[in-house]
Structure 1
Amino acid sequence: MTDLGYRYDHVIIGGGVAADAAARALHEAAPEASIAILSADPHSPVYRPALSKDLWHGESDDPDSQDLRTAEETGAVLFTATLVTELCPGSHTVVTARGQVVHYGTALLATGSTARHLPDVHDDRVLSLRTVGDYRHLRGLARDGARIAVVGGGYIGTEVAAALTRTDTQVTLAHSGRAILDHMFPVSITEHLEQVYTGHGITLVPGFRLAGIETGDELVLRSETGEELRADAAVLGLGAELSTTLAGAAGLDLERGAVVVDPYLRTSAPDVYAAGDIALFDDALLGLRHVEHVDHAQASGATAGRNMAGAEEAYEHTPLFFSDLFDDGYEAVGRLDAHLEMREEWNEEHTAAVVHYLEDGAVEGVLLWNTWDAVDRAREVIAASQQGELAPADLRGQIPPG
């Protein structure tokens, strides 16, 4: 194993998709530059969406099939299981948990997010799904008719519950809403999804707010109202927390719990950039926001990498996000908030839809339900609406569903 060096031209802190994209951009822009990737994860960077998608229903269930081959293809030196505990912008150094000091020319924070857990529950039958290690552990639990409870009816919870139906398990999906994904989707879609999920054998438990888990011979999950669910394992999809401890301790400007960056993804510290989940950026269409999805990780990581190599490229990308839920799928741009005004347009078969999300008459988000190759057009619609060039009455027909 290569020893950690004294100095690198560029140091990337984090081991996800944003780190991989930054290393590729750096290598292309400055092939002779030295790059170190310091990742707390023991596994090399992988395409993480596959952990709840393709690995369950694709050609291979081996997470190594999703390895991004970052080190091999970028020339970067990758150090896994290497936790950075200090970022010192004044001396242009980082310090690892082993006390190693590394000097950098530029540094990138791509530390991502961590899953929320119950603080008093320490049992290997209770897990989240964020890493390759989590995936392998869940695969081991999902066998022999095991009862697995998934808690959380949002993005990750619905994907994990769907994935588990491909295994020999009894799946329960408990969530706090009236229906799964009802914080994002109109009733027309949530009612359809409820039928699909129950049709695949998933037991749905609405209105379940997890209060605690008793760990004995079996797990007993208790809601705030005293309702109990019994399971052999539990997957918690309770959302994520941005990993900004390192940035905060270094004195970087934080806002809304994220790291403030300028249009070039530079932080408040000289020669320190941020990309991916933790970056609070000024979206060209939607204003100040942070985004926790892979499209943003890839695009912002690549822009940051080019800028670390000397470019002055503004980050002007409005990210998309996507999911596949059994035979349905969607892509989306912007805010999908069911509290906003939702205007639906369906195809004749009622199998595909476009939903516009409006606030004060302006489009804030677009859902493309079973509607493909329309993301760029969705961005155009948002831009035109935000600029007052497209009235709500004129939205119908702008993006044909299907």
Structure 2
Amino acid sequence: MEEDLQILSRSKGGNITAVLIEDFKSLEKISRNVKSIVIIGGGFLGSELACALGRRARDTDLEVIQIYPEKGNMGKILPEYLSNWTTEKVRKEGVNVMANTVVKSAKYQDKKVILKLKDGQTVKTDHVVAAVGLEPSVELAKSARLEVDSDLGGFRVNAELQARSNIWVAGDAACFYDLKLGRRRVEHHDHAVVSGRLAGENMTGASKPYWHQSMFWSDLGPDVGYEAIGIVDSSLPTVGVFAKGTAKDTPKAVTQESGTGIRSESETEEIATSVSVSAGAAASARPPQEGEDYGKGVIFYLREKVVVGILLWNIFNRMPIARKVIKDGEEHDDLNEIAKLFNIHED
């Protein structure tokens, strides 16, 4: 599948597109003139596009199909119960979700893209969006004899993002050592911006270590959004604490309140020096219930009793608090108490 999808994403002809900025603009036009679009990928980009196109399909004859190998949308990130809930939300947006499905091959024939699936099914469509992630380019390592991390990929660098004398690496190509979370390679915008700036400073002799805990965020339409930080991996044990959401607990409401098109300002916020707990939080804090409509909440990702990742579900601009929890690196016996720091029960 990976080899076939690389061909899809690199193709410049036919009706196959990788979603770069210019491709996104053209996709908006294409979606108004075709009958069918297939999105390959169930991660951030694939799920965001599926929701957006699904909403458009409500008022048109457009068929939107989403294909991915995981059990549910964002299955590598969200705990299973929340991934299942999210998958049903995407379906309600008008998307034909084909989970647990792998694309074996693709060809262009008779003005259609024909996808052959691993289980033998065939899907014909007018347009394919390959939203399948990336692999870091490490060709330079061969000629320069730089070290590549065999587990995470990317160039291994020291605390100052230096691979070798006079060579620095930033962004998703850098495999760096996180003082709190161990060696990592991060593929998010916040990390690329901050690590890029630091690498540039260190090229001029600053000799500064990289300590930033980068965050990422994603929206599934105007009603559901989340921010996350640290190691957010569904294979880890998680504890979630949720509360009933209100009309203001949505990406749309946050954007309208700020008066800008930016949903979050937390990429550049520092670590919180102090935190406060809202009144009445203790009585309502509880883990999620089966079948619950998850309004808003906080999910902790754990290694033993230490929080190594935090995902804020429909809770915005609390990232300084999340950074402090991870920075402290303490063991916690009752995560309901830590959840109170995020004031998720405030009106």
Q: TM-score, normalised by structure 2?
A: 0.75
> Paired residue for 1:266, among 154, 158, 162?
162
> Paired residue for 2:101, among 208, 223, 234?
208
Q: How does 1:162-311 map to 2 (within 5 A)?
A: 162-165=51-54, 169-217=62-110, 218-255=112-149, 256-268=152-164, 270-311=165-206
Distance 1:362 1:116, change over 3 A: farther
Q: How does 1:13-52 map to 2 (within 5 A)?
A: none
Task: Quote the offset at 1:119 in angstroms.
Answer: 5.4
Q: Which residue of 1 aligns with 2:333?
A: 391
Q: Which runs of 5 or more structure 1 residues have no equivalent in the other structure?
A: 1-114
1:343 is paired with a residue whose SS is: strand
Q: How does 1:75-224 map to 2 (within 5 A)?
A: 118=5, 124-129=14-19, 131-165=20-54, 169-217=62-110, 218-224=112-118
Task: Quote the offset at 1:140 in angstroms.
Answer: 4.4
Q: Which residue of 1 aligns with 2:208?
A: 313
Task: Quote the offset at 1:257 in angstroms.
Answer: 2.0
Q: Which runs of 5 or more structure 2 residues have no equivalent in the other structure?
A: 246-293
CA–CA separation in structure 2 for the residues paired with 1:371 and 1:170: 32
User: Higher strand proportion, which one?
Assistant: 1
CA contact (8 A) 1:295 1:320 kept: yes
Task: Quote the offset at 1:235 in angstroms.
Answer: 0.9
CA–CA separation in structure 1 for the residues paired with 2:339 and 2:94: 37
CA contact (8 A) 1:275 1:297 kept: yes
CA–CA separation in structure 2 for the residues paired with 1:120 and 1:244: 19
Distance 1:392 1:286, change over 3 A: farther
Task: Quote the offset at 1:285 in angstroms.
Answer: 2.0
Percent of aligned pairs with the same residue? 29
**Letter of the aligned partner of 2:91 in structure 1?**
T
Q: Which residue of 1 aligns with 2:308?
A: 364
Q: Are 1:378 and 2:322 matched, yes or no? A: yes
Task: Quote the offset at 1:362 in angstroms.
Answer: 1.9
Q: Over residues 34-65 of structure 1, what are the superposed CA-to-partner deviations in whole Å (9 max), with x where a residue is unaligned?
A: xxxxxxxxxxxxxxxxxxxxxxxxxxxxxxxx
CA–CA separation in structure 1 for the residues paired with 2:28 and 2:14: 13
Task: Quote the offset at 1:198 in angstroms.
Answer: 2.2
User: Higher helix proportion, which one?
Assistant: 2
CA contact (8 A) 2:4 2:104 kept: no
Task: Quote the offset at 1:183 in angstroms.
Answer: 2.4
Distance 1:119 1:151, change over 3 A: closer
CA–CA separation in structure 1 for the residues paired with 2:178 and 2:161: 12
Task: Quote the offset at 1:117 in angstroms.
Answer: 5.0
Q: TM-score, normalised by structure 1?
A: 0.65
2:205 is paired with a residue whose SS is: coil
Range with greater deviation from structure 2 (147-156 or 375-384): 375-384
Task: Quote the offset at 1:180 in angstroms.
Answer: 1.2
Q: Which residue of 1 aligns with 2:230?
A: 334
1:337 is paired with a residue whose SS is: coil
CA–CA separation in structure 2 for the residues paired with 1:380 and 1:239: 29
Task: Quote the offset at 1:277 in angstroms.
Answer: 0.8
CA–CA separation in structure 2 for the residues paired with 1:117 and 1:225: 16
